[in-house]
Structure formats: C-alpha cells, structure tokens
C-alpha cells in the first residue's frame, strides 16, 4: 500500500510542477513554459536519479535544447552561474508550491 501511495504522491507532485512551468522562465519574467521534469543531481550518486521530491520544472531550452549557457545539460557550472543552483531553484519551487 505504501508503494501505491508514494506513486500517487509522486504523480501528483509532477502534475504540480507541470502546472508551475519552467522555473527559469518564470524567474526571467517569460511567463509559463511547459516543462520537463529535471531531477537535481545533488545527493544522488553517478547515474542515479535523485528522489522525486528533488525535481524542478525546466522547459526544453533550459533543460536540454538551449545549448551552452542556456541548457543545464550543456554545461551545469555556467548554467548555475546564470540561473542559480539546482538546490536554490528546488527550494524556490517548494516555497511557491507551499504558497498555493
């Protein structure tokens, strides 16, 4: 039963992230952009996915497609210097979700 409950919680959380939209686009004042769900790497081993609660919503450009300095997967250090750390964005998302 706990596994079913956690799967329902995970699905509900991802739905909330999707409703929120890309956190980077939000911070840049672009409005809603349909997101991918990105699992932050902090606290996860190589090749492992972090827990579902450690996910942030990122549009395709800010996640994978935007190229160097725009897409997280094209260079995380420059991306974080431009947009904030994964952890700070996760904390912002948590705060925004708790305010609604």
The total of other beta-carbon atoms located within 10 Å of residue 42's CB is: 11
Per-residue pLDDT of the chain (100 residues; tens, 9 = 90+): 456 668 899 999 999 999 999 999 999 999 999 999 999 975 555 565 678 889 999 999 999 999 999 999 999 999 999 999 999 999 999 999 998 6
State the DSSP code for 30. Answer: -
Distances from the Cα of 86 to the Cαs of 7, 51, 73, in angstroms?
A: 23, 14, 12
pLDDT of amino acid 90:
97
φ, ψ of residue 99 to 5 degrees: the values are -80, -20
pLDDT of amino acid 1:
46
Question: What are the sequence ranges of the domains in the chain?
Answer: 20-40+51-99
- In angstroms, rounded to a whole number, what is the distance separating the alpha carbons of residues 33 and 21? 5
Report the predicted TM-score, pTM, of the whole model to 2 decimal places. Answer: 0.86
């Amino acid at each position: 039963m706990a596994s079913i409950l956690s799967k329902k919680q995970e699905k509900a959380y991802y739905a909330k992230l999707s409703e929120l939209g890309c956190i980077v686009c939000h911070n840049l004042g672009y409005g809603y952009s349909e997101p991918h769900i990105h699992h932050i790497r902090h606290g996860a081993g190589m090749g492992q996915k972090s827990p579902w609660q450690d996910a942030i919503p990122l549009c395709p450009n800010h996640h994978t497609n935007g190229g160097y300095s725009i897409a997280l997967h094209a260079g995380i250090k420059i991306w974080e210097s431009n947009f904030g750390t994964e952890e700070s964005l996760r904390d912002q998302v948590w705060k925004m979700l708790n305010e609604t």
